[in-house]
Structure 1
Amino acid sequence: MALRLEIFDLQLFIHIVEVSSLTQGASRSAISPAAASTRIKNMESTVGARLLNRTPQGVTLTSAGRSLLSHARQVIQQMDHLAFDMCDFRGGLRGQVKVLAHTTSLTEFLPQALSGFLAAHQDVEIELQEALSDDVIRAVSSNEVDIGVVSTPVTTGALWARPFGRNRLVVVLPSQSEFVQLPSITFADTLTAPYVGLSAESALNRFMARVATQLGGEYRPRVQVSTFEAMCRMVEANVGIGIAPISSVERYVKSMNIRYIGLADSWAIREHILVTQHLEALPVLVRNLAQHLADYAQTHLPGPVELSYGNP
């Protein structure tokens, strides 16, 4: 059975679902709510099933709607891929690539990894956002984003996956901390200490909170900041202790009166993985960027992290 659904209507449907509101979804699509309602009713008539449940609080998906949403996202992404590939015939790569990454890769590895590619392709734009690794896998698998970077432990499933460096989380300490003389410490043993953390929305903050809950404790930083540098400044001022990747801390320990020790937990050693759909299914732009990042990681990013006792 052939369904005649317009690309505009599929994008409208996605917009409505993303904001759980027909009115706001219509606004995103630059049409009136009445026109949006008519288009959704026509879609429901075409597929022969209700797609949305309408309530005073907004709209929710029916079973048929959930199925359509998955297909709609794939169709829209394929249209974007088609547009990307056609650009190649007009000379040079151009377009936008969506990249989702966990905190450490986003702050430590991706800036340099992306800079060379962007310098070589002036008409390329990259939308870079932060998320937990499990959320990155889901977004790449459902074609919501083009490329992701995750950290172990995580299951990549059928996605194309390549190594993207390694790092290690350490405990950042004021120089006078009672923990300074220890070679390492478990995260559980630090939970009674006051913490300086990243913002509540950061993937690292959410990850640490989840680990603390699994340990039967609670991770509630008394101060939240937006960067690892600000975290180290707060630690230097004896506000609390912090958790940060060793690559960040080593930059600041030389100029600040802080120390660090290793986390003894196995999850503190982070293997980073680049993921995307299989290369042959990707548009040229996304495929070239994914291959560039994989090649960059192989030649520039760190191997296994060794952390011995002692600080500068």
Structure 2
Amino acid sequence: GTNMINAGLRYFAAVARHRSIREAAEELHIAQSALSRQIQKLEDEFGVPLFHRHPRGVELTSAGEIFLRHARSSLRQVERVRSELDALKGLRRGTVTIQSIESLVQHLLPRAIARFSKRHPGISFDVTIDGSDHVVAAVREGRTDIGLAFYSPAERDLLTVFKMREPLVALMSAGHPLAKKPRISLAESMAYPIALPAKNTGSRILIDVACKAAGIAMAPVLESNSIQLKVHFVHVNYGITFLSRLSAWDSLRAGELVAVPIRDRIVNSATIDAITHASRQLSVAAEEFLRFLQGELQNLRDPTANAAD
């Protein structure tokens, strides 16, 4: 196999790097005499000495320099062939790890995973749900392949693969006095019981900044990081909460809840970001799933378009 092709090249490159047959033999876990013989064989084959032998070790000859350049490029090519062949295998089996905020759990993630695994049944998914700050940390520390975060900060180690505009909207029950309005301001919502995201979360910071800009101070009845809890809260007492449409997809679809756009500009700039580590090579399966997820998001842009789906 490829080992046959590149064993000689690998041995040669190791000796050139260490400038010592003894040290190269240690690194390669082979006997020094066997390594000497391999080098001798290469030299016989090309009819030129590749190394000058010194008492202290070995030095490349000018023929050796030329050979090293070609050896390195051959080894890289063998690597490339191997990684392309691995890539073919990569879509047949493997695990994709994802850390995501909760708002994608209702609809987007289960649907995307189900549809992807129908195409690639050998790929499994390991999904952890957490706050945006923890999602970002998991990507930064290499503990997950893909992070799905709300409004993630720009960092040197992070690569934003795509962003999707996901404005916060005012969620309320269908019977709410404000439910029929084309849009409302944060100030108008203050006449009703309010449930806010937990302090220091991405969406809460956005709401706090918007309130400050509007010169208002909200006094929430409930603060929670649970979407479920906030959705139930607005079912009961003419409450209002601020979430993305995706967070309450099923209730909106069923017509139990209504999403009213908010006037305040800042909350409309919210995005959900797909992030990966900038210097970490993703598996083929993870790359492919990211592309697939982006497509699924585009299909979701208009909630009425695929109502029959």
- Which bracket does the TM-score occupy, shorter chain normalised? 0.5 to 0.7
CA change 1:157–1:231 in 2 (3 A) is same
2:205 pairs with 205, 210, 217, which one? Answer: 210
Report the AA paired with residue 296 of structure 1: L
What is the rounded CA distance, in whole Å, between the counterparts of 1:282 and 1:149 in structure 2? Answer: 18
Amino acid at match of 2:251: Y
Aligned counterpart, 2:169: 170
- Kept in 1, the 8 Å contact 2:117–2:124? The answer is yes
Q: What is the one-letter code of the residue matched to 2:273?
A: I
1:239 positional shift: 4.9
Give the deviation of 1:128 after TM superposition: 2.1
- Maintained 8 Å contact 1:149/1:274: yes
Corresponding residue of 2:143 = 144
Q: Which runs of 5+ in 2 are unaligned?
A: 1-84, 305-309
Matched residue, 1:294: 291
- Higher Rg of the two aligned structures: 2
Distance 1:166 1:112, change over 3 A: farther
Gaps of 5+ in 1: 1-84, 308-312
CA distance in 2, matches of 1:90, 1:189: 53
Q: Please, what is the CA RMSD of the aligned residues? A: 4.2
Contact 2:195/2:241, CA 8 A, preserved across alignment: yes
Amino acid at match of 1:271: T
Partners in 2 of 1:206 and 1:101 — Cα distance? 14
Q: CA deviation at 1:234?
A: 4.0
Task: Quickly say closer, same or farther: Cα 1:156–1:183, change in 2 above 3 A.
Answer: farther
Residue 119 of structure 2 is aligned to residue 105 of structure 1: no
Secondary structure at the residue paired with 2:142? Answer: coil
CA 1:219–1:145 in structure 2 vs 1: closer, same or farther (change >3 Å)? farther
Q: 1:91 to 1:169 in 2, by over 3 A?
A: closer
* Equivalent residues of 1:167, 1:302 under 8 A apart: no
Q: Please report the TM-score for the alignment, with normalisation by the length of structure 1.
A: 0.52
Q: Name the structure 2 match of 1:94.
A: 94
Residues 141-182 of structure 1 deviation map (CA, whole Å, 9 limit, x = unaligned): 232322111233632545333225443321122445443354
CA contact (8 A) 1:104 1:245 kept: yes
Q: CA deviation at 1:296?
A: 3.4
In 2, distance between residues paired with 1:251 and 1:143?
33
Q: Deviations over 1:3-59 (max 9, x none)?
A: xxxxxxxxxxxxxxxxxxxxxxxxxxxxxxxxxxxxxxxxxxxxxxxxxxxxxxxxx
Offset, 1:305? 6.7
How many aligned residue pairs are there? 213
Contact 1:160 1:276 in 2 (8 A): yes
Deviation at 1:212, TM superposition (A): 4.8
Partner of 1:238: 237
What is the CA deviation profile of residues 210-254 of structure 1, one whole-angstrom value per residue up to 9, with x for unaligned ones? Answer: 3454445356343869555x6445423335112232245564245
User: Do 2:169 and 2:259's aligned partners in 1 also have CA atoms closer than 8 Å?
Assistant: yes
Letter in 1 for 2:127: E
Assess, with a 3 A threshold, how the Cα gap between structure 1 residues 158 and 305 changes in structure 2: closer, same or farther. farther
CA contact (8 A) 2:206 2:267 kept: no
Shift of 1:257: 5.0
The 5 A counterparts of 1:1-312 are 92-95=92-95, 97-119=96-118, 120-122=120-122, 124-132=124-132, 134-152=133-151, 154-163=153-162, 165-191=164-190, 193-196=192-195, 206-214=201-209, 215=211, 217-218=217-218, 220-222=220-222, 226-228=226-228, 231-249=230-248, 251-253=250-252, 255-265=254-264, 266-278=266-278, 281-282=280-281, 284=283, 287-298=284-295, 300-302=297-299
Distance 2:168 2:207 in 1: 15
- Is the contact made by 2:151 and 2:202 (CA closer than 8 Å) also made in structure 1? no
Cα distance in 2 for partners of 1:106, 1:303 equals: 14
Distance 2:159 2:129 in 1: 20
SS in 2 for 1:104: helix
Matched with 1:9 is none
Counterpart code for 1:297: Q
State percent identity of aligned pairs: 15
Which residue matches 2:11? none
Tell me if the contact between 1:105 and 1:272 (Cα under 8 Å) persists in the aligned partners.
Answer: no
Give the structure-2-normalised TM-score: 0.52
